Amino acid sequence: MSKPVVVLNGPNLGRLGRREPQIYGTTTHADLAARLVEYGRGLGLDVEVRQTDSEERMIGWIHEAADERTPVVINPAAWSHYSIAIADALAQLEAPCIEVHISNIAAREELRHHSVVSAHVTGTITGLGLKGYEAALAWLATS
């Protein structure tokens, strides 16, 4: 039986492949999702990948994961830096949660240096590109 994991991607990540490829690369979100589902399968995980530009929808997905005790990989994107609502939702999780950032947020503009959600996750992976998602899934598979 596969262990369920949900990967939640925040605003503008649906534009991967077109959005600032010098920072985020040329892989599309659909390609990333397919890659993570396949990678997870090899680890014994049943991975579902979701993306939204709606903070309300993201909070609902986090609440769903909390209620079902589903492990989460989250890239809150811009919400990382200011969304107390996302942070409060993540604080309700009982299963592990890994925060992922494609770029190294500490090496970018100062406004991106701090993540308000980091205090409510198990760990953070930043700056490893799309491989950060795979590192998060690999860790969850063994936790």
Give the C-alpha separation, 23 to 131, whole Å: 14
∠ Cα 48 51 57 (to 5°): 100
Provide the angle, in degrees to the nearest 10, between the axes of the packed helices 131-142 and 29-42.
30
Task: Please identify which of the residues 24, 29, 120, 133 carries the catalytic annotation.
Answer: 24
Helices within the chain (DSSP H only): 21-24, 29-42, 55-68, 84-90, 131-142
Residue 57 is assigned to a ligand binding site: no
Is position 125 annotated in a ligand binding site? no
Contact 139, 3 (CB under 8 A): no
| 3-class DSSP state of 31 | helix
Amino acid at site 125: I
- Residue 133 is among the residues annotated as catalytic for this protein: no
- Is 102 labelled as part of a ligand binding site? yes
Query: Is 39 noted as a catalytic residue in this protein?
Result: no
Catalytic residue among 29, 101, 120, 133: 101
Q: Is 81 annotated as a binding residue?
A: yes
104 is annotated as contributing to ligand binding: no
> Binding residue per annotation — 112?
yes
Q: Give me the active site residues, please.
A: 24, 101
Q: Which residues are annotated as a binding site for substrate?
A: 75, 81, 88, 102-103, 112
Q: Which residues are annotated as a binding site?
A: 75, 81, 88, 102-103, 112
